[in-house]
Structure 1
Amino acid sequence: MRPTRIRDYKMKLLLKISLVFIGVIGVIALASCEKDEVKSLVIGKIVATPSSVKNGDEITLEIGGNVSASGETIINGKDYHPIIHYLIDGKAVVKSSETTLPFNAKYIIKDLTIGEHTLSVDITSSRKDAIFENKVSSTTITILE
């Protein structure tokens, strides 16, 4: 081989090695990037007004007691807020349209048997990359007739 061919070969080999090295560094850099994840929680107790009702009556549900929530938050121009789904005996019945405390919702009681029924909440987020931990205590309502 001539000296110029050897030098050209070495330069091409060095270029290939450099490109592979830069590619590996790029993959490592991209793999180490974490997605932005917003974590928060909602603390309190469900309050039903009135707590003793008949089928056909309207009740107001809200989160009260020693209550805390991070409500609506804007991070990097994105709106994050909890979405509160009220459940009776584990079945979703109404969703709050409010984005801040006390997350009121109204519901007309229907098709419930006489006796006590458990109220609880399921909390989802307005965005898939936000997590709201549920620390809301359940309560009961009494159906009179």
Structure 2
Amino acid sequence: MSKKIQAYFPTENDALSANTRIQTYGAEYLEVSELPDPIGTGTRLLVPIAAGLPTSGTPGSATGYAGGTPGSTTNTGGAAATYVALNDNDGFGTSDNLRRGDSVDSDYYDGDRSHLRYVMAATVKDQVYADVVEAIRRNGGYVEVFD
């Protein structure tokens, strides 16, 4: 079976880059387009994972918050997560709900979404779905959760 993936990006270049990356997983029905209106807050989105963050072992010294503001990294049992320290701004004028110790399972974005102007949609096989979601997140995409 196949699953639909939809991800949001600040720029067309970001969306096209992710589009190219997931083609290696055999993605089908790929489409990138500009959003006519901002996405609503009712859409559950996984935050991007900043490039270079560890995915297992001891927390790394890499810095970078996928939202664009320098931050820190942490690791909770094999899942990399970015966070903004308490009371820090996410770079878009709002504070995030991500905090130290968050795992990938709880990395939902509830900040300002007006900077997400492009959408990429694709269909992938169930067997590679998790890998494709991670590739998109590592490429700066906010992946929509449908279930």
TM-score by length of 2: 0.26
Query: Which one has a bigger Cα radius of gyration?
Result: 1
Relative contact order, higher structure (CA 8 A, sep 6+):
2
* Larger strand proportion of the pair: 1
TM-score by length of 1: 0.26
